Amino acid sequence: MARDSCLTRVGAGVALGGAIGGAVGAVFGTYDAIRCKVPGLLKVRHIGQTTIASAGIFGLFLGAGSLIHCGKSY
């Protein structure tokens, strides 16, 4: 049985973390923009920044977790 390489597992972890973090960031950014009454088109910028930041951070942590688990054999 062929095992996935470590690089493939870390890449999948980063992609999955980015997707989940982006979704959560978009929801939270929208809520925060409405709550803080951000004016006009600045709402789009605020939501975009929140989405990208959340996706980046969560993707980084999930990728790091995948890298840590890469050396373990169960």
In the chain, where are the structural domains located? 11-69
The predicted structure's pLDDT at residue 4: 73
What is the band of 70 on the pLDDT scale with cuts at 50, 70, 90? confident
The predicted structure's pLDDT at residue 73: 61
Coil, strand or helix at 74:
coil
Judged against a pLDDT cut of 60, whether residue 68 lies above it is answered with yes
Per-residue pLDDT tens over the stretch 11-32: 999 999 999 999 999 999 999 9
CA gap 67, 74 in Å, rounded: 15
